[in-house]
Amino acid sequence: MNRGPEYLLEALHVVKVFGTLRANDDVTLKVKPGEIHAFLGENGAGKSTLVKMIYGALQPTSGEFRWMGQPVTIANPAAARKLGIGMVFQHFSLFEALTVAENVALAMPGDFDMAKLSEKIARVSKEYGLPLAPTATVADLSVGERQRIEIVRCLLQEPKLLIMDEPTAVLTPQEADQLFVTLTRLAKEGCAVIYISHRLEEVKRLCHNVTILRHGKVVANVDPARENAASLAKLMVGGDIHVVRGNRKHAAGDVRLKLDRLSLDPDGPFAVELKEISLDVRAGEVVAIAGVAGNGQSEFFDAVSGERILHRDSMLQIDGKPMGRAGVNARRKAGAAFVPEERLGHGAVPAFSLSENVILTRHASDKSLIRSGLVQRGDASGISHRVIKDFDVRKGKPDPEARSLSGGNLQKFVIGRELDRKPGMLVVNQPTWGVDAGASATIRQAIIDLSRQGSAVLVISQDLDEIFEIADRIAVISRGQLSDAYPADKLTAEKTGLLMAGEHEIKEVRHAAGA
């Protein structure tokens, strides 16, 4: 038998420059056929830039790629697919208004035969344990199902190399396990997998080889079997990480935020209906709401923050006062503070300076900011400076525009702005989404500290590690319904995963079958 080239893909001295930023700096790495190869690194380490070049979505500034030993230029994604490279994106490249089969058809060259294609999708998805209905509209599907579309779409092209960009970030633990089975099977069949992640346990469990990137450079290439999580983390961050520590013995006080059978109708065809959500958040505790994206988190945040007014006043009570029909400002005046998920555009006005952004959320609750209708800019910039100092917000100009800050620094500012008020109740949606490890630790510590000073804190997050790090009690949202809140030390990741997949529904089905 003729031996093929030893390496499927080689990157040699690849450099990618965006303006003044060297996103990839002299990257050299090699991927063997049938190998699951992890690219490990923090946010902004250059992992995504690198794979985008491999997939032809970006062109390297200098350096070269070799495919099966031959130098290649991958001009565009179509060229990559022709070579046998498939990619599953972190933010899916799906078309929400189209059906599963139509989405797949868009990626397939050649004949356009929907009936044949639908049949093929059903067959391949079943074969690899990724069940999918070809006629379903993407907007109606869960995140896990959407990812399956992307994977099946790649598999139909019989790839030699499959690139997965942080695939488990959006999955329940059970869905992730299923994915690992599929990937292991693919690798056994000879398909190489590039697996991007910053989750160390996963990489150790699944991958054969790890390339670690930091600030755009390859800092190490190691065998994950010979490393442990701590040594990998050290290579990834380039130092030791500060561990968040809470005073575990929290003294739960009075109920400060009470949700009583809170329901909310969907406001569009792709929105989720909230059904009879009841929850108490007490002074001195952090309650976290886990769940897979798109199960009603954003609707829930809108309902609690007052962006959408509720039907009845009694559905939401702040410090015993019914405020379900009160707007955002009234709720803020009652001592509540809110940090939405999207920091740029929702949490802060991109083109406004930081001090102006302070005024926007605090003009109603802080009397000193507005006097007889006039904005007190001095007081606003005083607050802004205090937040910048307390939360170590790194910036260029003294009072820069919100959009000029990096994601992590803006998130520190947006959260710091609310914490600075010492609110009696804080609701945060995705506090550390897309934020680097250092800033995450600062934010999580600040959230815990606030609760220990007697505030009630409600955190909505999709990051289970984060939830177990900071929460005293955990509830899970699934299809608009909220589970009971369990003490964090009584809940395992497995149990949470089952709840995330909608365990109460499974129970109902079992009950119906038994009756």
Partner 1 sequence: MDMMIAVILTIMTAATPLLLAALGELVVERSGVLNLGVEGMMVMGAVCGFGAALMTGSPWLGLFASIAAGMFMSLLFGFLTLSLVSNQVATGLALTLLGLGLSGQIGESFVGQPGVKLPNYDGFDPLIPFAILLAWGVSWFLFKTKAGLVVRAVGNSHASAHAMGYHVIRVRYLCVLFGGACAGLAGGYLSLVYTPQWIENMTSGRGWIALALVVFASWRPWRTVAGAYLFGAISILAFTVQTFAWGIPSQFLSMLPYLVTIIALVVISGNRMLTRANTPACLGQPFVPDR
User: In terms of CB distance, is 166 or 285 closer to partner 1?
Assistant: 166
User: In terms of CB distance, is 106 or 493 closer to partner 1?
Assistant: 106
Beta-strand runs (E) in 223-273: 255-264
Q: How far is the CB of 95 from partner 1 (least distance, A)?
A: 4
SS3 263: strand
Q: How far is the CB of 154 from partner 1 (least distance, A)?
A: 12
> In this structure, are residues 444 and 432 in contact, taking their beta carbons and an 8 Å threshold?
yes
Q: How far is the CB of 103 from partner 1 (least distance, A)?
A: 8
Q: How far is the CB of 455 from partner 1 (least distance, A)?
A: 36
Q: How far is the CB of 53 from partner 1 (least distance, A)?
A: 11
The C-alpha atoms of residue 461 and residue 373 are separated, in whole angstroms, by: 38
DSSP tag of 401? B
Count Cβ neighbours within 10 Å for each residue of 300-330 and write b for 16 or more, e otherwise.
Answer: bbbbbbbeeebeeeebbbbbeebbbebebeb
Q: How far is the CB of 396 from partner 1 (least distance, A)?
A: 23
State the distance between the two ends of the chain, measured CA to CA, in whole angstroms. 62
User: In terms of CB distance, is 153 or 332 closer to partner 1?
Assistant: 153
User: In terms of CB distance, is 56 or 424 closer to partner 1?
Assistant: 56
Q: How far is the CB of 261 from partner 1 (least distance, A)?
A: 25
SS3 476: strand
User: In terms of CB distance, is 57 or 446 closer to partner 1?
Assistant: 57
Beta-strand runs (E) in 6-56: 9-18, 21-31, 36-40
The C-alpha atoms of residue 153 and residue 169 are separated, in whole angstroms, by: 20
Beta-strand runs (E) in 286-335: 286-290, 316-318, 321-322
User: In terms of CB distance, is 105 or 477 closer to partner 1?
Assistant: 105
DSSP tag of 131? -
The C-alpha atoms of residue 32 and residue 44 are separated, in whole angstroms, by: 26
User: In terms of CB distance, is 94 or 161 closer to partner 1?
Assistant: 94
Give the residues lining the site for partner 1 (CB under 8 A): 56-59, 76-78, 81, 89, 92-98, 102, 105-107, 112, 267-270
User: In terms of CB distance, is 96 or 223 closer to partner 1?
Assistant: 96
> In this structure, are residues 12 and 64 in contact, taking their beta carbons and an 8 Å threshold?
yes
- Partners of residue 222 on adjacent β-strands: 210
Residue 180 Cα distances to 206, 209, 424, angstroms: 7, 15, 43
Residue 352 Cα distances to 55, 349, 375, 385, 403, angstroms: 37, 5, 14, 15, 8
Q: How far is the CB of 297 from partner 1 (least distance, A)?
A: 19
SS3 50: helix
Q: How far is the CB of 492 from partner 1 (least distance, A)?
A: 37
Q: How far is the CB of 92 from partner 1 (least distance, A)?
A: 8
User: In terms of CB distance, is 53 or 369 closer to partner 1?
Assistant: 53
Residue 489 Cα distances to 189, 207, 475, 499, angstroms: 41, 30, 13, 16
User: In terms of CB distance, is 272 or 318 closer to partner 1?
Assistant: 272
- Partners of residue 257 on adjacent β-strands: 281, 318
